[in-house]
Structure 1
Amino acid sequence: MVAAGALHGIRPAEQPLIDRLREQALSAAGEYRPVLTSFLNPRQRVLADMVAEQAGVELHGAGGFAQAEMQRVLFAPDYFTPEPSDFAVTVLECVYPAKFTSLHHSTILGSMIHHGLDRSAFGDIITQDDRWQLAVTDTLVGFVQSDVDHIGKTKVSWQVASGKDVLRPNVPWRDLTTVVAATRVDAVVAAGFNLSRSQVKELIASGQVQVNWLAEGRADAQLVPGDMISVRGHGRVQLVDILGITTKQRWRVALRVLAK
């Protein structure tokens, strides 16, 4: 589910994506056929939903996994009911010597980028116990299987996973109700990860913090319910709700925290 709060503050850097999505949506409307995008993150899907509404077309999404964060989107006329195959997504399982080594999300992601893959070409990276799976576009299956033969120093191979073999994500979010001085990025991150405000400001200044999948360089940036903050090396914290003001004029907030 895409958070409603992610809609605020469209930035100039997003305009090229909006233009590309608008062109695809208008093609779907004008040619009366479905048009498929690359993988989009939740923030980008909010923009796609805006564009779809303006163009008068329906929006459908899928990413290979249940409740996938990264999804391919179909702009389509209202008559169209998509099948899973229409999204052209394949889930690949990484085969590696799990008894002797371990893999990490960051190393798998880094290996894909190192091999020249744009982040929009592949979707979620999911793990369960010592198993790892990756969603990719159908057209990239052969490339990944033939070219991505190492993750870091570990030799790997890839096999297609389908049906019951596809992992179901189990993300351990923690609910937290707390009090902050302000609904600013630095205050919410500090509360979510038990960091000092000065530590958070250093993280922001060094480009380690994103709000709604966009880099945030201002410690005093205001948040609204639904906003998702990612902090490299720490995890994610979402401002779920603002519950009110205390007698000491501080904000009581509901957060969801996913710590690394």
Structure 2
Amino acid sequence: MCNDNKELQQFKKRVLELARKSYEHNVYMYIGFLSMAEQDVLYEMQQELKGIPYTLFGGMEDCERRILRFGSEESLGYAEEFPIICLLVKPMIEKFADDLTHRDFLGALMNLGIDRSTIGDILIQGKNAYIFCMDKIAPFLMENLDKVKHTNVRCESVEAQTSFPMKEPESISFTVSSERADGIVAKVYKLSRNQSLLLFREKKIFINGRINENNSHILKSTDMISVRGYGRFVYYGCDYETKKGKLSVSAGVYR
């Protein structure tokens, strides 16, 4: 993540260097999985990247961590797949397995000494996890990722599009005084208004992939909101106004 000005400048320098190489050498160039904060920095570089096509992809639609690829089939004259592998990690004996969390799987991966940028989204399904990673690290993980917390696991490559059972977001409805982002975030995650406001100040709110520090921002239907530490939801919009002047709104929460 870009936590300070030095890292920010290094990240921008790397982006511009690979964009130039892609353009000058007529080849695809990649930067490993970007955090949402890094993607926000990328969006701020539109003027500097003008005329250089790029794509962000994380292995499936709606992935939050995504690889940056410079070049396109139209500009380069040939197609190339993203270097992404989906790994299924499952317990050796499910009935003895711990109830493992995203943090447990990420901790096990980081304990192997790999670079965070080689790992994309980690999607939990029961006691299994689907991990998107760069193809260059996949063989190492399949050989060395054998334990998560106290659970012995095995790791295999799968086709994400056909193997991962996509879950629809859970639809919820509630009333608010307005469609301000801070109020809706507070309602979705059962927070106080002050707790919600703090998330904006700490730059933990992303709306449609962009950091948003404006807690009074008015949400629009289909906006995707990610809240670091809590999850994400899609805002469906206002359904109707109550007799007391409140707005009945709905959202789809990804559990």
TM-score range, shorter chain: 0.7 to 0.9
Distance of 2:12 and 2:239 partners within structure 1: 34
Aligned partner letter, 1:149 = D
Establish whether residue 120 from structure 1 lines up as the match of residue 114 from structure 2.
no
The answer for unaligned runs of 5 or more in structure 1 is 1-10
CA gap of 1:244–1:176, structure 2 versus 1, over 3 A, is closer
Alignment-derived partner of residue 188 in structure 2: 192
- CA deviations on 1:96-122 (whole Å, 9 max, x unpaired) are 122222322221122223333333211
Alignment counterpart, residue 166 of structure 1, candidates 160, 163, 167? 163
> Counterparts of 2:192 and 2:160 in 1: how far apart (Å)?
45
Indicate if the aligned counterparts of 1:237 and 1:257 stay in contact, CA closer than 8 A.
yes
Return the offset for 1:206: 11
Residue 23 (structure 2) pairs with residue 58 (structure 1): no
Please tell me whether residue 258 in structure 1 is matched to residue 253 in structure 2: yes
Which of these residues, 91, 94, 104, is aligned with residue 98 of structure 1?
94
On the 8 A contact 1:29/1:57 being kept in 2, the answer is: yes
Report the counterpart of residue 66 of structure 2 in structure 1. Answer: 71
Change (3 A) 1:182 1:24: same
Q: Distance in 2 between matches of 1:72 and 1:44?
A: 11
Gaps of 5+ in 2: none
| Aligned amino acid, residue 188 of structure 1 | I
Measured after TM superposition, the shift of residue 76 of structure 1 is 0.7
Tell me the matched-pair count. Answer: 241
Q: Which residue of 1 aligns with 2:147?
A: 150
Say which SS state the counterpart of residue 155 (structure 1) adopts: strand
Residues 49, 33 of structure 1: CA spacing in aligned structure 2 closer, same or farther, 3 A cutoff? farther
Q: 1:18 to 1:105 in 2, by over 3 A?
A: same
Distance 1:157 1:227, change over 3 A: closer
Percent identity for Structure 1 against Structure 2: 20
Which of 20-29 and 58-67 deviates more? 58-67
Question: Which residue identity does 2:57 align to in structure 1?
Answer: A
| CA-CA distance at 1:123 after TM superposition | 0.9
1:33 positional shift: 1.7
State the partner residue of 2:217. Answer: 223
CA contact (8 A) 2:30 2:70 kept: yes
1:197 to partner: Cα distance: 2.4
Is the 8 Å Cα contact of residues 240 and 253 (structure 1) preserved in structure 2? Answer: no
TM-score for both structures, normalised by structure 1: 0.71
Which of 138, 141, 157 aligns to 1:141? It is: 138
Q: TM-score, normalised by structure 2?
A: 0.72
Q: Deviations over 1:116-164 (max 9, x none)?
A: 3333211121233443211111111132123322111111121111377
Which range moves more in the overlay, 121-130 or 11-20?
11-20
RMSD of aligned Cα (Å): 4.0
